[in-house]
Structure 1
Amino acid sequence: MVVLYISSPGEVIRSTYSTSDGEVLYKAETPRSATYRTTSILRLLPPDIPSSNTKASDSKYGLIASIDWKTGTKPPVIRYGGQEFEADDFLRMDGTRGADGSRPRVLIAPDGKEYMWRNEEYEAQLITYDEKREVVAQFHRQQFGIFHKKCPARLEVTPEGEEILDIVLVTFIFIEKIRLGSTMGIITAAGAV
């Protein structure tokens, strides 16, 4: 199982995603700008890839996806795997709205299988979109230690999801940003800001 700890759970588009050892595997970077709203999602590259960094200890990251958060009536655009998709095509809505106002979203992953993101009590789950409905990834929000054991926000990915970890993270960032936007009342008619 892969566990990614989220540095800023309230701002998934401006966070690092680290292992329990503190190694940053992914970064989500979004400029703070009213006009330019693109999130870049970067992954730590293997150490055997040559680096132009001057220090051997510097880590090198490569872009795996980007999300253009459109405003007005234009839908967000996700760029992944050398292709560009409207978010509603890449993550199609399915089913009825939940208590938080969100709808489950279905995607076809690079492994050819269908998966569905759904929100359960503010904790998103990625499940197989078949009769088994097995959990592939689950987001756990930060616990401050008042009613529950203190624990940082994290995304847990089962061994089945490890093969598609990049797309799990990209789609998690999208659905969690949408959920956070809708709970703060800043989401537009098109689905994002």
Structure 2
Amino acid sequence: MPSRHLYLSSNKPWKSTFTTVEGQVIYKAESGRTITISRILQSLNHGNTLMDSFEHLAEIEYHTFRKSRIRYGGRDQTVNEFFRKQGWGFFGRNRVFTGPNGREYLWKLGSSACKLFLNDSSKAPVAYFHRKKRGILRESRPASLEIFAEGEHMVDLIVVTFVYMEKYRKENEQSTQAGAGAGGG
């Protein structure tokens, strides 16, 4: 199944650049109180060449104790409006959203990363996050977001929802680990 990878500068997608195999930065996510996601502008003068100028794509206002918000595509929604909860993943509830083609997509929360599938009987893979691997026993590799053919029409939306889901998964992972070490006795 053909796919392409966007390589991340870190295992924290909310604080990363996303580059092609050639090293061209396509997206960048910057995190403060709000996660801002930008996309590279295509040059109007040079056809398909890309400039290192970026345009605003989305904002994620991430909160631990109140509803987070996603601002994307001219809409400002709480995550409960943007996503529907479905089933359970390793670190919380999986999330479903509707793509621009009207089809539903399911982010599954794995123990070490998120994976996106079509939310239908085919369960076709749409995108997988591969965490950075250090090369002790095998070859090292950078963190990457692998996007399959089923997701090529909505890469912007995949990146935005992925940044939110991986931040959510990581927060739940940390709170689970903190809870496991607390109490006892």
TM range (shorter): 0.7 to 0.9
Output the TM-score relative to the length of structure 2. Answer: 0.86
When residues 49 and 112 of structure 1 are mapped into structure 2, their CA distance, relative to the original with a 3 A threshold, is: farther
8 Å CA contact 2:125, 2:150 repeated in 1: no
8 Å CA contact 1:77, 1:84 repeated in 2: yes
1:173 partnered with 2:163: yes
8 Å CA contact 2:43, 2:51 repeated in 1: no
Give the distance between the partners of 2:45 and 2:113, measured in 1 at CA.
36
Identity of aligned residues (%): 36
Give the distance between the partners of 2:64 and 2:120, measured in 1 at CA.
34
| Counterpart among 44, 48, 53 of residue 48 in structure 1 | 44
Output the TM-score relative to the length of structure 1. Answer: 0.82
When residues 178 and 147 of structure 1 are mapped into structure 2, their CA distance, relative to the original with a 3 A threshold, is: farther
Which residue matches 1:88?
80
1:162 partnered with 2:163: no
Q: When you count helix as a share of all residues, which structure comes out higher? A: 2
When residues 71 and 178 of structure 1 are mapped into structure 2, their CA distance, relative to the original with a 3 A threshold, is: closer
**1:70 maps to amino acid:** H
CA RMSD of aligned residues (A): 1.9
Instruction: Give SS of 1:142's match.
Output: coil
Mapping 1:98-117, distance limit 5 Å = 98=89, 100-117=90-107
**1:40 maps to amino acid:** T
Give the distance between the partners of 2:63 and 2:80, measured in 1 at CA.
12
8 Å CA contact 1:3, 1:20 repeated in 2: yes
**2:110 maps to amino acid:** E
Which residue matches 2:122?
132
Q: Per-residue deviation at 1:147?
A: 4.0
**2:69 maps to amino acid:** V
Aligned length: 171
Which residue matches 2:23?
22
Which residue matches 2:140?
150
When residues 123 and 106 of structure 1 are mapped into structure 2, their CA distance, relative to the original with a 3 A threshold, is: same
1:61 partnered with 2:62: no
**2:57 maps to amino acid:** I
For 1:145-188, what per-residue CA distance to the aligned partner results, in whole angstroms no more than 9, with x for missing partners? 234421111000012211100000000000100111122229xx
Which residue matches 1:189?
none
Q: When you count strand as a share of all residues, which structure comes out higher? A: 2
Q: Could you list the runs of 4 or more consecutive aligned residues of structure 1 that deviate by over 6 angstroms after TM superposition? A: none
**2:43 maps to amino acid:** P
8 Å CA contact 1:27, 1:41 repeated in 2: yes
